Amino acid sequence: LLGADGKLGLTIFEEMTSLAVKHGAINLGQGFPDEDGPAEMAEAARAAILAGANQYAPGQGIPRLREAIAAHQKRFYGLEVDPWREVIVTTGATEGIAAAVLALAGPGDEVITFEPFYDSYGAMIGLAGAEHVTVPLHAPTFQPDLVELEAAFSAKSRLVVVNNPHNPTGAVFGREVLSRIVELAAAHDAVVVTDEVYEHLVFGEPHLPVASLPGAAERTLTISSAGKTFSFTGWKIGWVTGPEELVGRVRTIKQFLTYSSGTPFQEAVALGLGYPDEFFRGIATTLKAKRDLLSDGLRAAGFEVFSPAGTYFITADTRALGFDDAADLARRLPELVGVAGIPVSVFCHADGARRTRSLLRFAFCKKEPLLAEAANRLARLTD
Ligand code: PMP
Ligand code: GLN
């Protein structure tokens, strides 16, 4: 992410989306759905605007949304969260991550993440002046080795940033891995920040929040976002829940990042969070069919495919097709065959980038005919 001059560069999402637009390619790079979420929610945002919800919201979020977030945590996970002291609304999960890292880590501290890691973690740990320590995820399941996990902890460990389900690999971490993280964090007095934006995008067992594990709640900040659950990525409404003291520290930083987040969208997200269970189950059912369609298409095109347990991303190995450098291929792919993807190596430091050199990530939150067409185009790579 850091260029040779040590400055942050353009993100891969910007770069690949512009290339896709330039070549009129099917954009399976940046992860955003090509269908909006519920029309009723869009209508609620419009109604809120027309009703005058157009000035700053309270910094912590509008009361109705904070209550809806707390009720959601209780309904799905049995978690008791006080909407007045233990919830803060953020400008997307991105701001939650930024505020949590800036609030909790600084020079001399170490922050642990898995590798590959979502790009904003690396950027924020760098901006906070902390050291970024990574634990590799291993193909084909992209699970960590528990011995390597333990070895990443030290007296300087301040924060562990978990992402479950995991972007970019689509891995879902189970009770054993998550409990080990909590034990190690407790032993080193570190805080766990867990990014669970894909909590409803899981294809097997129901999502297991870190905060629900024994001993976790008191040291865990949980982050989520309306962008993924409701397919409104442009609204940028996220939230952080956790103990009052930790949420308070996030709030202190948030004041100076954005102060508050889009008022009318908060009204609409509060409505969505109250939808019946079937709505939330339906998200995964619809996506699972898309996952299978693109997985099969990529296999037929000659890729080795690591079908994900969660998220809307598939990781595919280009070695089977005779390619080695997926970053180079990704930059040529829109022009070559009219499809854009993201090289997994951009979510890594140097060692991880070598390990993931041949991997590409494709987003499948797109209409089925488009996914089928993308797979057909990719099959031409070996023509
Ligand atoms: N975390 C992860 C793992 C993500 O994949 C994303 C978005 N793709 C975000 C955070 C950012 O979420 P938001 O758009 O709500 O800021
Ligand atoms: N999180 C989305 C992805 O992984 C993109 C978000 C962004 O553009 N920063 O593709």
Please give the ipTM for the structure prediction: 0.97
Domain count of the fold of the chain: 2
> What's the CATH code of the domain at 347?
3.90.1150.10
Same domain, 266 and 296: no
Give the per-residue pLDDT at 131: 98
Same domain, 224 and 292: no
Same domain, 52 and 159: yes
Residue with tokens 């979502």: 118
* 207 inside domain: yes
Instruction: Give this prediction's pTM.
Output: 0.97
Q: Which atom of ligand 1 is nearest to the CA of 95?
A: 16
- Residue 223 CA to ligand 1 center (angstroms) comes to 10
> 317: domain range?
12-30+278-382
In angstroms, the CA 200 to CA 301 distance is 29
From the CA of 1, which ligand is nearest?
2
In angstroms, the CA 359 to CA 348 distance is 12
- Residue 254 CA to ligand 1 center (angstroms) comes to 17
Cα–Cα–Cα angle for 130, 131, 133, nearest 5°? 140
* 5 inside domain: no
Whether the CB of 119 sits within 6 Å of ligand 1: no
* 321 inside domain: yes
Ligand 1, atom 12: closest residue by C-alpha: 93
Give the per-residue pLDDT at 60: 98
> What's the CATH code of the domain at 155?
3.40.640.10
Probe target for ligand 1 pocket from 117, 167, 261, 346, with the most ligand atoms within 8 Å of CB: 167
Ligand 1, atom 14: closest residue by C-alpha: 92
In angstroms, the CA 102 to CA 363 distance is 29
Q: Pick the last residue of a domain from 219, 251, 273.
A: 273
Question: Residue 61 phi/psi, 5° resolution?
Answer: 110, 155
Same domain, 107 and 227: yes
Q: Pick the last residue of a domain from 242, 257, 273.
A: 273
Same domain, 322 and 188: no
Give alpha helix (H) positions in 221-262.
Answer: 226-229, 244-257
Same domain, 267 and 283: no
* 91 inside domain: yes
* 2 inside domain: no
Whether the CB of 225 sits within 6 Å of ligand 1: yes
CB 219 within 8 A of CB 190: yes
Same domain, 222 and 197: yes
Whether the CB of 232 sits within 6 Å of ligand 1: no
* 3 inside domain: no
Ligand 2, atom 4: closest residue by C-alpha: 31
Same domain, 321 and 371: yes
Q: Which atom of ligand 2 is nearest to the CA of 11?
A: 9
Q: Pick the last residue of a domain from 273, 294, 320.
A: 273
**What is the per-residue pLDDT across 178-207, written as a single tens digit (0 to 9) for each?**
999 999 999 999 999 999 999 999 999 999
Mean pLDDT by 10 residues, the chain (383 residues): 61 91 96 96 98 98 98 98 98 98 98 98 98 97 98 98 98 98 98 98 97 98 98 98 98 98 98 98 97 98 97 97 95 96 96 97 98 97 86
- Residue 123 CA to ligand 2 center (angstroms) comes to 14
* 66 inside domain: yes
From the CA of 361, which ligand is nearest?
2
What six digits make up the tokens of 122?
A: 């690396």
Same domain, 182 and 286: no
Same domain, 144 and 187: yes
Give the per-residue pLDDT at 5: 52
Same domain, 18 and 51: no
Same domain, 242 and 284: no
Give the per-residue pLDDT at 382: 85
3-state secondary structure of 89: strand
